[in-house]
Amino acid sequence: MDKKITIAIDGFSSTGKSTVARRLAKELGYVYVDTGAMYRAVTLYMMRKVFVSEGNFDEEAILRHLPFINLKFVFSEEKGYGEIYLNNENVEDEIRYMEVSKHVSRVSAIPKVRKMLVKQQQEMGKEKGIVMDGRDIGTVVFPDAELKIFMTASTEQRAKRRYDELMDRGDDITYEEVLKNVKERDFMDSTREDSPLRKADDAVEFDNSEMNLEEQFEKVLKIVKDKIKEVNS
């Protein structure tokens, strides 16, 4: 039986990380963890408490309330992957709204928020056989992962994908708003002091600007299978 490995997938927003990671986990029989959903769920909690809004960012209140947050993933037969639960409430759909996207980079830049979630993520991956995607998986969460992939695509292409996704869901949004949000998140994620988004030195860079989902998946799957073969040879 093949030894299981840890697969860390990092990259910019709207590069299709989660879609590819979910399919990979299903194909390999691995556990899938969407760390972005965890940061989004914390952000949603703080927005509901009105500690985070368009004109307000109360970091002291955010830190005081971290102990009251319980996150878990519950497998959905319908969707085929674990959905995020915030204090026993399924918030998988709500965390994807544009309002949450506007604030998640600021909340996730807080060192104590990152420390809390990184600890949970490392616990989830102790047994290996995991596909985890996010911004700092290969650099901070699993620096010793057997395979690290860094996904990227042009800003405009990523904004277009995100815009199409939001429109399909019925959101009232313009492409310009989405593009602005993507650029702002890129800047904040790449320049924050704690665990900034960057490509790990030993990561495979994967630019999918010109690929559809099927092409992306097939190419990434080949990279993964080659690595598993190498580890088990």
> pLDDT tens digit string along 96-122?
999 999 999 999 999 999 999 999 999
Establish whether 14 is an annotated binding residue.
yes
Establish whether 15 is an annotated binding residue.
yes
Establish whether 101 is an annotated binding residue.
no
Query: Six-digit token pair at 53?
Result: 């809004």
- pLDDT tens-place string over residues 161-195: 999 999 998 989 999 999 999 999 999 999 999 99
Low-confidence spans in the chain with pLDDT less than 70: none
Q: Does domain 6-225 have CATH number 3.40.50.1100?
A: no
Establish whether 17 is an annotated binding residue.
yes
- pTM for the complete prediction? 0.91
Establish whether 209 is an annotated binding residue.
no
CA dihedral 89, 31, 108, 93 (to 10 degrees): -40
Establish whether 80 is an annotated binding residue.
no
Establish whether 11 is an annotated binding residue.
yes
- Per the CB < 8 A criterion, the answer to whether 84 and 93 are in contact is no
